[in-house]
Amino acid sequence: CATSRRPEATAVLEAFLPLLRASERGRIVNVSTSMGSLAEQANPDSPYYGMIVPAYQSSKAALNSITIMLAKALADTSIKVTSVCPGFVQTDLTPVNREQAPLTATQAAEVVVAAATLPDDAPSGTFIDSNGTVPW
């Protein structure tokens, strides 16, 4: 059944966009994952190549696409848009035992904070993790 209902993330963005446009240093940080990288999914040498989690991977790939679209749509503004991969984090959402994840939530938040505090001359529409650029 088709619906005209907007995805919640888009509705929230549309609600906050006027405030972001009014700010001097607006930032949009989308929390993604390297598992959502199409390049990583297609690369046999990637540690994510053998992972098959269709709903999770495809939803994060879609989020990465939204990052690119927003960066283009907001190119004439000071707003920066970034996708970030916080890494394998010790949360109750981890698909394995939480203790197997190497990062605490505090450690994982560092890349989110880095994206939220990008300097004005930083590029928009990027995908990063704690090691730098992640391929789309």
127 close to 37: Cβ distance less than 8 angstroms: yes
Instruction: Single out the catalytic residue among 56, 77, 109, 114.
Output: 56
Q: How far is CA 132 from CA 4, 52, 73, 108, in A?
A: 37, 24, 24, 14
Which residue type, as a one-letter code, is found at position 28? I
The reply to whether 56 belongs to the active site is yes
Could you tell me the two tokens for 116? 């939220």
Catalytic site positions:
56
